[in-house]
Amino acid sequence: MKDLFEKIYKDKGPLGKWASQAEGYFVFPKLEGEISNRMKFQGKDVITWSINDYLGLANHPEVRKVDAEAAAKYGSAYPMGARMMSGHTDLHEKLQNELADFVSKEASYLLNFGYQGMVSTIDALVAKDDIIVYDVDAHACIIDGVRLHMGKRFTYKHNDVESLEKNLERATKMAEQTGGGILVISEGVFGMRGEQGRLKEIVELKKEFNFRLFVDDAHGFGTLGATGAGAGEEQGVQDDIDVYFATFAKSMASTGAFIAGDKEIIDYLKYNLRSQMFAKSLQMQLVVGALKRLEMLKTMPELKKNLWTVVDALQSGLKSRGFDIGTTQSCVTPVYLKGSIPEAMALVKDLRENYGIFCSIVVYPVIPKGLILLRMIPTATHTLQDVEETLDAFDAIRARLDNGTYKRLSAALMAAMGE
């Protein structure tokens, strides 16, 4: 019999094998200082493009004040117990009602964490006779939720409506045999590419196929739509989303999440979401803080306006200088370059050490081999000066990538890895 841990000693995985070179710098980096457009990394000031604080609420004085007052009043424990047992309060209900109203749904239900809540919601929505059809580029939390499903599931090509239609035909035939239903899952905004899910076209397919639509709008909530209610509002199909999901970890700069939909659906889910039924309630300080943040989303449109001023300047500046930012339709700003993982490491180190720019690096296996993705998250706290400095830095690092500087710098790393 093989030792269970044998595989761990032999194969660290596609990312884990770089741990000794990458950890603490390229992965698990330690940013310091108040969450803002400029922070410190290893003692140096850097322009920070890796924080999902879209609306700049993380250190807004009004938010900090409410958070501090709530912590002083309730501590970090209250309420104790799961919602169904002893962890339910009027303020939890108030937040749910206000969230439902904001996203134009009959009801909503709070989730302790976005990832955990997404997995559990998928699990609760489908039974073994049902079929799931989901975008191949779906977030890991969706994939993990789908893995729990004991029935059939199909992926369709990313944002490809024709591929979705073909898979719906397959799913329909299978559902007719099993007696089950069909759940289609898309994201409102895909967090790596920045593309909006093709919700309008997906909804149009409801005329031909019988399915329910579940949308993960983590990056759309607060940033898209006339009121900030997300990708469904932006595309004019919010009413046709059967179950809407968003997290507090992006625009709300906090912890927690929620689902929203018809009251009967949400009532069913709150009695069947295992991750909420058997877990401690969301702490009161987070609930009170979320109420304040939601109020600001609704009453301070300048937050979103400031965000999009920065987004437009950054994305138009990158495109005018010939950078490939894909087909982003959101604040998420990907910059695609060609190179190896060691070249990517050399490039990012240069960007941070010599140009004071901190952004996330994404490489294989998240994206195809030979590509480097620098993922940038603009926020309302960034300035146009930040944008100009960043554009100039990107011009410089692209030139060094093209002339082979990073290939030479990475040769020693490759040799050390035995590649």
How far apart are the C-alpha atoms of 326 and 41, rounded to whole Å? 28
Q: In this structure, are residues 114 and 218 in contact, taking their beta carbons and an 8 Å threshold? A: yes
- Burial class (CB within 10 angstroms; exposed 0-12, middle 13-18, buried 19+) of 232: buried
Q: Per-10-residue mean pLDDT for the chain, 419 residues long? A: 87 77 84 94 95 95 96 93 91 98 98 93 96 96 94 95 97 96 97 95 97 97 97 97 97 96 97 91 96 97 97 98 96 95 90 94 82 95 97 96 88 59
pLDDT value of position 290: 97
* pTM of the full structure: 0.93
- What are the beta bridge partners of residue 334? 375
pLDDT value of position 415: 61
Q: In this structure, are residues 97 and 74 in contact, taking their beta carbons and an 8 Å threshold? A: no
How far apart are the C-alpha atoms of 94 and 80, rounded to whole Å? 18
pLDDT value of position 416: 53
pLDDT value of position 412: 66
Q: What does the domain layout of the chain look like in residue ranges?
A: 5-54+301-417, 61-299
Q: In this structure, are residues 47 and 356 in contact, taking their beta carbons and an 8 Å threshold? A: yes
How do 257-261 and 31-32 pair as beta strands? Answer: unpaired
Same fold, 5-54+301-417 and 61-299: no
Nearest CA to 177 out of 129, 127, 133 is that of 129
Query: Could you tell me the fold of the domain covering 5-54+301-417?
Result: Aspartate Aminotransferase, domain 1 (3.90.1150)
- Side chain identity, residue 214: F
3-state secondary structure the chain: CCCCCHHHHHCCHHHHCCHHHHECCCECCCEECCCCCEEEECCEEEEECCCCCCCCCCCCHHHHHHHHHHHHHHCCCCCCCCCCCCCCCHHHHHHHHHHHHHCCCCEEEEECCHHHHHHHHHHHHCCCCCEEEEECCCCHHHHHHHHCCCCCEEEECCCCHHHHHHHHHHHHHHHHHHCCCEEEEEECECCCCCCECCHHHHHHHHHCCCCEEEEECCCCCCCCCCCCCCHHHHHCCHHHCCEEEEECCCCCCCCCEEEEECHHHHHHHHCCCHHHHCCCCCCHHHHHHHHHHHHHHHHCCHHHHHHHHHHHHHHHHHHHCCCECCCCCCCCEEEEEECCHHHHHHHHHHHHHHHCEECEEECCCCCCCCEEEEEECCCCCCCHHHHHHHHHHHHHHHHHHHCCHHHHHHHHHHHHHCC
Q: What is the CATH code of the structural domain delimited by 61-299?
A: 3.40.640.10
How far apart are the C-alpha atoms of 136 and 186, rounded to whole Å? 9
How far apart are the C-alpha atoms of 219 and 249, rounded to whole Å? 9
